[in-house]
Amino acid sequence: MAGQLSLRSLGKRLGTEVVGADLSRLDDDTFAEIEAVFRDHPVLVFREQKLDAHRLAAFGARFGHLREHILENYRHPDDPRVSFITNVAKDGSVDKFGVVRASSWHADETYDPPEKLPRLAILHAVEVPREKGGTMFADMYAAYETLPPAMQEKLAGMTGRHGYTDGPDARKIYTGKHIEERNAGRPECLHPAIKEHPVTGRKVLFVNPTHCHGFVGMSNEESEPLILELRDHSTRDELTYYHKWRVGDVVIWDEIATMHRGAADAAPEERRIMLRTIVHPN
């Protein structure tokens, strides 16, 4: 490609390494190039970066609006728009549950209504497990495009009902009490099962088994087999990318065009510290 950057494919469908960018001091032209690449490559990887909370927030803010984390104790003390994703407690102990947290397939925040959906998320690796502990991504354009035509047609008329982490896969990880407390007072949000991507206009399958608990006109029990069938279809090996983290990695992913999950395959006592920010459209 023209310009400063070069690209290297990491996975079959997803995962594109961008070589030649220092995210701590980006000029406008290089950022424009990154934004153009991101449109066609929904998971971008930048190696050997070193961003503090301010610089990570500054990079994210070029794409849109950053919101503070919903839970105060996740917020970074230097910039509340950046949060810690870690299994290391303040006293230095390692939370053994950390390895399974966020390990069911999801897109972030689909428990919010369509106008509040995030555009993208960014993770920056500060400390990573010695082995495994990756993050997986699924290509939801390809998930839609590889559905049988009859299923595409059926889903085009369906609307997903989403709640806070109470879809069929989330219920296997989180306790019922936790789910009910988080959902109290939170309205169910509706998203079409097939969504048009707001930037590219391409269709994506927009059903994730963490937040989508049913479809309009169907009970949760009736919906579950279809949610799980769509998950299995979307997350076949050929549609997914496993990102093995290195310290210094910055990964950005499109929140509409992909699903992701923590692979939950590291030893539970391995430390993992990431900085994260989620970007909403302006």
Which residues contact Fe ion (rule: CB under 5 A)?
108
Instruction: Enter the tokens of residue 184.
Output: 């109290």
The residue (of 33 and 262) whose beta carbon lies closer to Fe ion is 262
For residue 101, the minimal CB distance to Fe ion (Å) is 10
The residue (of 73 and 150) whose beta carbon lies closer to Fe ion is 73
For residue 121, the minimal CB distance to Fe ion (Å) is 7
The residue (of 123 and 147) whose beta carbon lies closer to Fe ion is 123
Say which amino acid occupies 201: G
Q: Which residues of 64-80 are buried (b: 16+ CB within 10 A; e: fewer)?
A: eebeebeeeeebbeebb
Task: Give the integer Cα–Cα distance in Å for 216 and 44.
Answer: 34
For residue 263, the minimal CB distance to Fe ion (Å) is 13
For residue 29, the minimal CB distance to Fe ion (Å) is 31
Residues 104, 136 contacting (CB under 8 angstroms):
no
The residue (of 51 and 121) whose beta carbon lies closer to Fe ion is 121
Residues 273, 94 contacting (CB under 8 angstroms):
no
Using CB positions, name the residue nearest to Fe ion: 108
- Would you list the DSSP string of 172-204? GTS-HHHHHHHHTTPPPEEEESEEE-TTT--EE
For residue 173, the minimal CB distance to Fe ion (Å) is 13
The residue (of 16 and 258) whose beta carbon lies closer to Fe ion is 258
